[in-house]
Amino acid sequence: MKGHPISINDIAKALGVSASTVSRALKDHPDISDATKERVKAFAEMVKYRPNALALGLKHQKSNTVGIVVPEIAHHFFSTILSGVEALAYNRGYQLMICQSNEDFIREEQNVQTLIDHRVDGLLISISKSTIDYSHIKAALESNIPIVFFDRFSNEIPTDKVITNDFEGARLICNHLIKRGSKRILHLAAPQCLLIGSERQRGYIQALADNNITQNPELILNCDTPAMVNSMSEKILQKAKNIDGIFAVNDFTAIEAMKLLKNKGYKIPDDIAVAGFGDDPIATIIEPTLTTVEQNGYEMGKEAMTMLINRMENKNSNPSPKTKVVNTILRERESTGIGG
C-alpha cells in the first residue's frame, strides 16, 4: 500500500473483506457487525486512511471548496482579506483555492475557468485593473456558481459584494490635509474604470468642495504605482512647485512620491504634506511615517465569506444582491504633521 493514498480497496484486500463491507463499516451501517466495524476502523486509523474528498464531492455535487481570485497576493490589504476569509472557511469546513490575476485580465479569465473546472462551490473575486469585459464572470453565474465580489467589482454583475467606503475614506483624509493647511492638493489617481479609483477621486473632489476650494483638473494625475511615479517624475516635480499637499490612491504610490520629493530637497510635511490609502505596515516604518486610511481587510474577508456561504448553502432561495460597506479609519502620522 506504499506509494499512493490508501483506498477502501486497499483496506478490503488487507482484511479479506469486500470493498462495500469496508465502506459500510466506516459509515456505521447497521448491517455490519460491531466486531467488523471495530476491525475496519482500527485498521483504517492505523494506515491513516482518508476519504477521497474529490470523489465525495462528485457524489454529493459539492466539493466544499471555494475559489478566490485576487489581483496581488503579496499586497498587505489582500493578504489580510484572505486571512479573514480563511478564518471563517476553516470553521465552516471549506477549503480554499487561491489564484492571482497579477492585475491581468487574461490571467483573471484563466483563473476563473480553472476554478470552475475544479468544481468549486463558490467564487470570491476582486477584479484586475485591466478587466473591462466580464463575460467570464457572467458565465460562472450562469453555471449556477455563487459569486461575491470584494473590494473591486463591476456594476454589470448582479451579485453580492463587500467594499470599502472609498468615497468617505478619501473625503476624510483630504479634509484632514486641508485642515492641516494644504489647499493645493495633487491627487495621484487610479484608473477611473476601477470603481475604487473613481470613488476615491470623487471623495477628493468632494473634500475640496466641502472647503470651498476650486478644483483644478491639472492637479489630478493618473498615477497609481511606484513605477508610474518614477516614469512621471518630471511632471510630478513640475507640479510640486505649486502644491502643498498630495493625496495618493494607495500607500505605495504615496511613499514613492515622498521619496521623489525628499530626494529633490522638499521637506515632508513642511513643504508638502502627503497622504495615502490602505495603511500598509510599511506606513509606520518609513521616515516620515505616512498618514493614511485603514481599510480593515480582515473584516472584509469574513463578511465576503459569510455572504458566499449563505449563497452556497441556500441555493434554492434567490434574494436580491446585497452590498456590505466597510468603513475606513483615518491614521494620522508624521507626513501630515502629526507625531508618530
Cα 76 from Cα 34, distance rounded (Å):
53
The one-digit pLDDT tens for each residue of the chain (340 residues) are: 555 678 888 888 889 988 889 888 888 888 889 999 999 889 888 888 877 655 555 555 678 899 999 999 988 999 999 999 999 999 999 999 999 999 999 999 999 999 998 889 999 999 998 888 999 999 998 888 999 999 999 888 999 999 999 999 999 999 999 999 999 999 999 998 888 999 999 999 999 999 999 999 999 999 999 999 999 999 999 999 999 999 999 999 999 999 999 999 999 999 999 999 999 999 999 999 999 999 999 999 999 999 999 999 887 677 889 999 999 999 999 999 976 4
Regarding whether 151 and 189 lie in a shared domain, the answer is: no
Q: What is residue 60's predicted lDDT score, i.e. its pLDDT?
A: 52
Cα 146 from Cα 6, distance rounded (Å):
33
Q: Is 141 exposed, middle or buried (0-12, 13-18, 19+ CB in 10 A)?
A: middle
Cα 279 from Cα 331, distance rounded (Å):
8
Q: What is residue 212's predicted lDDT score, i.e. its pLDDT?
A: 97
Query: What is the amino acid identity at position 12?
Result: A
Give residue-wise pLDDT tens across range 180-190: 999 999 999 99
Q: Is 1 within a domain?
A: no
Contact 96, 65 (CB under 8 A): yes
- CATH number, domain of 136, equals 3.40.50.2300
Residues 6+ apart with CB under 8 A from 230: 256, 260
Cα 11 from Cα 41, distance rounded (Å):
10
Query: For strand 185-189 and strand 160-164, is the pairing parallel, antiparallel, or unpaired?
Result: unpaired
Regarding whether 156 and 172 lie in a shared domain, the answer is: no
Q: Is 102 within a domain?
A: yes
Regarding whether 289 and 310 lie in a shared domain, the answer is: no
Regarding whether 180 and 115 lie in a shared domain, the answer is: no
Regarding whether 254 and 178 lie in a shared domain, the answer is: yes
Q: Is 111 within a domain?
A: yes
Q: At 148, is the secondary structure helix, strand, or coil?
A: strand
Regarding whether 151 and 98 lie in a shared domain, the answer is: yes
Q: Is 156 within a domain?
A: yes
Regarding whether 201 and 282 lie in a shared domain, the answer is: yes
Q: Is 3 within a domain?
A: no
Q: Is 282 within a domain?
A: yes
Regarding whether 84 and 143 lie in a shared domain, the answer is: yes
Give residue-wise pLDDT tens across range 126-163: 999 888 899 999 999 888 899 999 999 988 899 999 99
What DSSP character marks residue 152? B
Q: Is 22 within a domain?
A: yes
pTM: 0.77
Contact 32, 21 (CB under 8 A): yes
Rg (C-alpha) for the chain, rounded Å, is: 26
Q: What is the mean pLDDT of the chain?
A: 91
Residue with cell 452556497: 312
Regarding whether 289 and 173 lie in a shared domain, the answer is: yes
Regarding whether 223 and 151 lie in a shared domain, the answer is: no
Regarding whether 309 and 258 lie in a shared domain, the answer is: no
Q: How many domains does the chain have?
A: 3
Regarding whether 46 and 84 lie in a shared domain, the answer is: no
Domain that holds residue 44: 8-51
Q: Please state, as a whole number, how many other Cβ atoms lie within 10 Å of the Cβ of residue 119.
A: 15
